[in-house]
Amino acid sequence: MDVVIATVLSGIIQVLVFAFVPFIVYLATARRQRRFAEYIGLKRAPARAAGWGVLIGMASFPLMLGLLHVAGAADVLADPASQTGRLRELAEARGVAAMLFVAVFQAAVTTALSEEILFRGFLAKRLVSRLGFGAGNTLQALVFGAVHSVLLTGTATETSGPSPAVWAAVVLLPAVQGWLMGWLNERLAGGSIVPGWCAHAVSNALTFTVVPILI
């Protein structure tokens, strides 16, 4: 299957999979009160909040570049089992143009949109409503960071695998980003996940397009 078609199909499928649990809970608890899009915060956001999302996404990128200087991180990022490693191989096999399309689509849709629906649109909102903003947003951010440890599954360095410093960076950086995106959505955007989506998409797009070229 052509890489472009495969990328689009896999992205759509991932969004649907990540939205499945929120949709089931919505049908059971809130379908009489509001539309599903509003339930998960997929609604118009103030331009100022969306702008802050773009800026946060851009500000996150230097931190990602800093990860390259953590011992063993470059080996992990270049590993074919990693997202950036796969994109690097795609650039070598199909050219930079194909890699850029796949990278941007995966950044904006496959990862950013699906994860924002599940983590900020569903998990964060449910936790904040039960625990309050401080505890709820912090808990969803910690879960978000912990889930990113899956990115290291199957990767290896010249030694026995990712170092503790790499594990810490891969978990802590997304956790901080997750907290900021939750704050942005709930405090500045009236519950819309669009600003967080902007931040997430920009951060991922910069990482997915630049890091494969650098490693």
Q: What is the DSSP letter of 42?
A: -
Please state the separation of Cα 57 from the chain's center in Å: 11
- Please state the rounded mean pLDDT for residues 164-178: 84
Calculate mean pLDDT across residues 38-55. Answer: 96
What's the pLDDT at 159?
45
Which DSSP letter does residue 175 get? Answer: H
The predicted pLDDT at position 158 comes to 45
What whole-number distance in Å separates Cα of residue 26 and Cα of residue 145? 25
Q: How many CB atoms lie within 10 A of CB 131?
A: 14
Does the pLDDT at position 112 exceed 90?
Answer: yes
Q: Under a CB-based contact definition with an 8 Å cutoff, are residues 86 and 180 in contact? A: no
Show the tokens assigned to 138: 């912090």
172-179 mean pLDDT: 93
Domain limits of the chain? 3-28+68-214
- Res 130 pLDDT > 60: yes
**Residue 161 pLDDT class (50, 70, 90 cuts):** low
Report in angstroms the alpha-carbon separations of 161 from 73, 79, 149, 204.
10, 11, 13, 24
Q: 25: which 2 tokens?
A: 């809970």
User: How much is the pLDDT for 213?
Assistant: 82
**pLDDT > 70? residue 71:** no
Mean pLDDT confidence for 149-177: 71
Q: How far apart are CA 159 and CA 177, in angstroms?
A: 30
Question: What's the predicted TM-score (pTM) here?
Answer: 0.89
3 state SS of 40: coil
pLDDT exceeds cutoff 50 at 173: yes
